Amino acid sequence: MPSSSNLRTPERLAMSRRRLLAAIGAGGALLAVPACRSAADEGATTSGTAAAKGGTLKIAQTADIAPATLFGQNNPNFTVARTVFNTLTEYDHKTLEPKPSLAESWTEAKDGRSITLKLREGVTFHSGRAFTSADVAFAIENLKKDTTASQLKHVALAIEKIDETDAHTITLHLAHPVSNLFDLFEILLIVDKESIDELLKGTKIIGTGPFEVADYTPGTGFELKRNDAYWKKGAPLLDAIEVSVVSQSASMVSGLRSGGTHLLVDVAPLDAASVKNDARFEVTVSDAHDSGFYVASNVKVKPLDDKRVRQAVAWAVDRERILSQVLGSIGTVTSLPWATSSPAYDRTKAAHYGRDLKKAKALIEAAGAQGESVKVVYNAGLATNAKIAEIVQYDLTELGLDAKAEPLQAADFLAQLQAGELPGLFINGHGFGQLHPATLVKGAFPFNAEKNASNFDSDAYRTLADQLWKATEEAEAKQAADALNDLLLEEQFVSDLVASSHTYTRSKKVQGLNWTMYDYLDLDQTSIG
- Using DSSP's 3-state secondary structure scheme, residue 396 falls into helix
Reported for 455-460, long-range contacts at CB under 8 A and 24+ positions apart, including other chains, are 455/298, 455/299, 455/300, 455/420, 456/299, 456/491, 456/493, 458/487, 458/491, 460/487
CA dihedral 380, 383, 388, 393 (to 10 degrees): 40
CA dihedral 254, 502, 93, 113 (to 10 degrees): 140
Contacts of 79 (CB under 8 A, 6+ apart): 59, 61, 65, 243, 265, 521
Contacts of 368 (CB under 8 A, 6+ apart): none
Phi and psi of 199, rounded to 5°? -60, -50
pLDDT greater than 50 at residue 438: yes
Which H helix or E strand runs over 516? none
- Asked if the bond preceding 2 is cis, omega within 30° of 0, the reply is no
Share of the chain above pLDDT 90, in %: 76
pLDDT greater than 90 at residue 15: no
Integer Cα distance of 517 and 435 in angstroms = 8
Residues of the chain with CATH 3.40.190.10: 31-85+209-287+503-529
pLDDT greater than 90 at residue 181: yes
SS3 content of the chain, % helix, strand, coil (to 5): 35, 25, 45
pLDDT greater than 80 at residue 463: yes
Residues of the chain with CATH 3.90.76.10: 1-24+86-187
- Position 144, amino acid: K
pLDDT of amino acid 72: 84
Rg, the chain, Cα only: 22
Integer Cα distance of 394 and 101 in angstroms = 48
Integer Cα distance of 88 and 199 in angstroms = 20
Could you tell me which of 505, 504, 511, 506 has the C-alpha nearest to residue 55? 511
Integer Cα distance of 478 and 19 in angstroms = 11
Average pLDDT over residues 296-319: 98
DSSP string, 163-211: EEEETTEEEEEESS--TTHHHHHHH-----GGGHHHHHHTS----SSSE
| Range list of H helices, 54-98 | 78-84
Integer Cα distance of 405 and 494 in angstroms = 18
Average pLDDT over residues 366-374: 97
Average pLDDT over residues 198-209: 97
Share of the chain above pLDDT 70, in %: 90
Cα angle: 261, vertex 265, 270; to 5 degrees: 95
pLDDT of amino acid 357: 97
Confidence of residue 51 (pLDDT cuts 50, 70, 90): low
Integer Cα distance of 77 and 520 in angstroms = 8
Cα angle: 189, vertex 195, 198; to 5 degrees: 100
Contacts of 203 (CB under 8 A, 6+ apart): none
Strands, E assignment, 227-303? 240-245, 263-265, 281-285, 291-297
| Range list of H helices, 55-121 | 78-84
Integer Cα distance of 328 and 86 in angstroms = 33
DSSP string, 201-228: HTS----SSSEEEEEEETTTEEEEEE-T
- Position 172, amino acid: L
Highest mean pLDDT among 16-25, 35-44, 190-199: 190-199
Q: Could you tell me the fold of the domain covering 1-24+86-187?
A: Dipeptide-binding Protein; domain 1 (3.90.76)
Could you tell me which of 29, 163, 72 has the C-alpha nearest to residue 518? 72
pLDDT of amino acid 12: 36
56 vs 72, higher pLDDT: 56
pLDDT of amino acid 73: 79
Residues of the chain with CATH 3.10.105.10: 291-500
Integer Cα distance of 479 and 523 in angstroms = 40
158 vs 151, higher pLDDT: 158
Integer Cα distance of 420 and 417 in angstroms = 5
Strand order in the sheet with 159-166: 103-108, 114-119, 169-174, 159-166
Q: Could you report the per-residue pLDDT of 472-506, keeping only the tens digit for each?
A: 777 888 899 999 999 999 999 999 999 999 999 99
In CATH terms, is domain 291-500 a member of 3.20.20.140? no
In terms of CATH architecture, what is 31-85+209-287+503-529?
3-Layer(aba) Sandwich (3.40)
Contacts of 465 (CB under 8 A, 6+ apart): 438, 441, 442, 449, 484
pLDDT of amino acid 52: 74
pLDDT of amino acid 435: 87
Q: Could you report the per-residue pLDDT of 381-429, keeping only the tens digit for each?
A: 778 899 999 999 999 999 999 999 999 998 899 889 989 999 999 999 9
Could you tell me which of 171, 410, 421 has the C-alpha nearest to residue 296? 421
Mean pLDDT rounded to a whole number for the chain: 90
In this predicted structure, which of 267-276, 371-380, 445-454, 484-493 has the lowest mean pLDDT?
267-276
- Using DSSP's 3-state secondary structure scheme, residue 505 falls into strand
